[in-house]
Structure 1
């Protein structure tokens, strides 16, 4: 039995900050967080000298990092991405696929299942995000123009069987054929469904909520809104996926808070409308994280889509549109707190407890509560990552 106490810490809780506090970890789980009198017993004491101690970040939407992409389809690629994001404070993530081919989808899901809950040397894999085949093709964004599928038993059963071994999130455009069948059939089996990469109308989304869709991918990006729908029909103006996401309380959503995809005022707007319990921070990052500017494959090496990292953002080769993120979650936290003005406890909550709740794993991770895993990130006053612990073990 191993007991570690983090002393002189500034604890970041979901609703407040506690300076001069301690956190005790026993065998990888938090056993105490707060002001302790008398001193707690410990095999090891770590003096944080007033630094912030926050829950490890949880990334719902991440494709790659440090030169690797989950669609490369190897255990080494998965572990490389997990180590990369741990350096940025992420302790749990769901690998996210890109539009690809059937065999590539199969390999992606097989590796998510095989590595789910194992030690990666970095962030823990807590499920899989199956993202691509059920997009609306016109809304594919920077994804490769490869295999788009109409949901049907012959393809859905093949993919959804992964949910027997791990939490599975599936993105679907509500307007595509057989979307209702897909969501109703497999949400009853425990699959979680997002709406995304969609040019749906408000009624499409309203119907999808009734089927069981509960989350929307990267708010404001690759989605319909009043202006886009008006291009195809001048009158009357119609609301789309963006407006429906903001309207329906049943829907949670996420923002890419890298300071490039969305301006601070859009981040503030999303925060005000959805609130910190229904708005998560995501990186949507690809393999160029922690790599220099230049050209990179989005998706599988050699068969995905070529994009460019330039000035802290992923862009298409011609430079006319954004193409995935290239920054870690620590950068997103700094953007949300310093640029958008969100109070620190709530900004941290949006990077930890809120995504954990969206994934259905908040009983185990996401906050500094006794009984939860000791997934911790130590931050300085500028919110730079100084140390990271996963299950109480230091990884950074």
Structure 2
């Protein structure tokens, strides 16, 4: 079987930077290194791509929808299409389809739909169950009538419907029964994430949460007499923090503060995108609620932010603009950290034996091409 070879690119492997490098791959990465180490093999399809930068494919562990589709619709064809469009247009080569607080029946349908879609489309590597086990005090855009206390049996049911794909769950650790709920998560490979939560620092010190959903947003705030969820996430080295880098959910100065506190090793860039991403501005929908999209912001009628229309490639650029971090550090926050945290062993770095998931960027860091499992795609 012939292999593809991309030569004379600047390559960020996730472990190192190669200024003039090559990468050889089929569905898996076969070799990567300085271009002077390349030895041609019979059948190699060689392409010189001077001026192009190669980075690992992005991993989005928190995206509800985009391009007119939403995981909560439960339609496998639409979820499949949504994931493919995120890959082509944003460079997302690994996706956790994300649900929201809704009726049990609607979450059932979403879990079943994601299972079928994931069996067709290997980009979909998991489910992020956001709610319904959250706090009404910080519900954000989650409909309050469906909020519940943590329920291990219900979580097990949804995990089974998804084919065991629940990898991340957003919940409020201050709720009754959260200790047993956390134990179940850890035993079943589900990362417990504090979010939409009114928990105090004291309560969180007794919880097993190791992740925080969209840091700063929809959580007990960071104050001088109570660090809250945000302060706890900043202070604890074991906490991985999601950041929505659209400039609206968090102002750039606060993104820089989080970066300075957590460092690039404990931040996961996410989009938290909803169905209006990639669509014209105007009226949209989230969980049965009307959403209005204007000036790259999605809001409920009362002004509450309702997810984002952020594309991952823009989050990748923005974190560099907002913090002054290097592209190497942006790669950590876009791919490396997520792969390590969620044990996605074939993802996250451009290393021999891993899946050939890579993004090609021009000098402006615009996405010009994506390879998913070695197959080339271009933005639509």
Give the TM-score band, short-chain normalised: over 0.9
1:356 Cα deviation after fit: 1.5
Residue 306 (structure 2) aligns with: 323
C-alpha deviation, 1:15, in angstroms: 4.9
Q: Partner residue of 1:382? A: 364
Distance 1:153 1:18 in 2: 47
Query: 2:127 touches 2:167 (CA, 8 Å); kept in 1?
Result: yes
Residue 239 of structure 1 and its aligned partner are, at CA, apart by 2.2
CA RMSD of the aligned region, Å? 1.8
2:268 to 237, 262, 280: 280
The answer to whether the Cα contact below 8 Å between 1:163 and 1:191 also exists between their aligned partners in 2 is no
Find the residue that maps to 2:82 and give its secondary structure.
helix
Counterpart among 94, 100, 104 of residue 102 in structure 2: 100
Q: Secondary structure at the match of 1:337?
A: helix
Do the aligned residues in 1 keep the contact of 2:359 with 2:369 (CA within 8 Å)?
yes
In the alignment, which of 337, 353, 358 is matched to residue 354 of structure 1?
A: 337
Pairwise CA distance, 1:145? 2.9
SS of the residue aligned with 1:116? helix
Of residues 290, 297, 320 in structure 2, which corresponds to 1:313? 297
Deviations 1:257-295 (A, max 9, x none): 112211222111111111111101000000111111111
Q: Shift of the alpha carbon at 1:144?
A: 2.4
Q: 1:341 aligns with which of 321, 324, 340?
A: 324
Residues 149 and 321 (structure 1), Cα distance of their counterparts in 2 relative to 1, 3 Å cut: closer
Structure 1 residue matching 2:234: 3-state secondary structure: helix
The corresponding residue for 1:62 is 63
1:119 to 116, 121, 132: 121
Q: Provide the residue aligned with 2:5 in structure 1.
A: 5
Aligned counterparts of 2:348 and 2:52: Cα–Cα separation in 1: 19
Distance 1:160 1:38, change over 3 A: closer
Q: Distance in 1 between matches of 2:291 and 2:192?
A: 28
Change (3 A) 1:117 1:360: farther
State the distance in 2 between where 1:40 and 1:179 align: 57
Residues 139-148 or 50-59, more deviating? 139-148
Q: Deviations over 1:190-217 (max 9, x none)?
A: 22211111011001111113xxx21110
How many residues were matched structurally? 375
1:197 aligned partner: 196
List gaps (5 residues or longer) in structure 1.
231-236
Q: By how many angstroms is 1:13 displaced?
A: 2.7
Identify which range, 50-59 or 106-115, moves more after superposition. Answer: 106-115
Give the CA deviation at 1:252: 0.8
8 Å contact 1:162–1:168 — kept in the other structure?
Answer: no
Following superposition, the deviation at residue 250 of structure 1 comes to 1.2
Q: Confirm or deny: 8 A CA contact 1:65 1:289 kept in the other structure.
A: yes
Q: Could you say which residue in structure 1 is the equivalent of 2:181?
A: 182
Equivalents in 2 of 1:383, 1:153: separation in Å?
A: 44
Q: Quick one: structure 1 residues 38 and 90, their matched pair in 2 at CA, closer, same or farther if it must change by over 3 Å?
A: closer
Matching of residues 1-396 of structure 1 within 5 Å: 1-26=1-26, 28-35=27-34, 36-41=36-41, 42-86=43-87, 87-116=89-118, 118-119=120-121, 124-162=123-161, 165-209=164-208, 213-227=209-223, 237-299=225-287, 304-318=288-302, 320-361=303-344, 363-396=345-378
CA contact (8 A) 1:116 1:166 kept: no
Residue 38 of structure 1 and its aligned partner are, at CA, apart by 4.6
Task: Write the distance in 1 (CA, Å) between the matches of 2:185 and 2:218.
Answer: 24
8 Å CA contact 1:65, 1:286 repeated in 2: yes
Give TM-score, length-normalised by structure 1.
Answer: 0.90
Contact kept? 1:308, 1:314, Cα under 8 Å: yes
Q: Could you tell me how far apart the structure 1 residues matched to 2:340 and 2:230 are?
A: 22
For the Cα contact (< 8 Å) 1:5–1:40, is it kept in 2?
Answer: no
Sort the Cα spacing of 1:179 and 1:52 in 2 relative to 1 into closer, same or farther, 3 A.
Answer: same
Give per-residue Cα distances to partners, 1:341-382, cap 9 Å, x unaligned: 110111122011111222221x21011111110001101111
Measure the CA separation in 1 of the matches of 2:17 and 2:306.
Answer: 36
Distance 2:152 2:20 in 1: 57
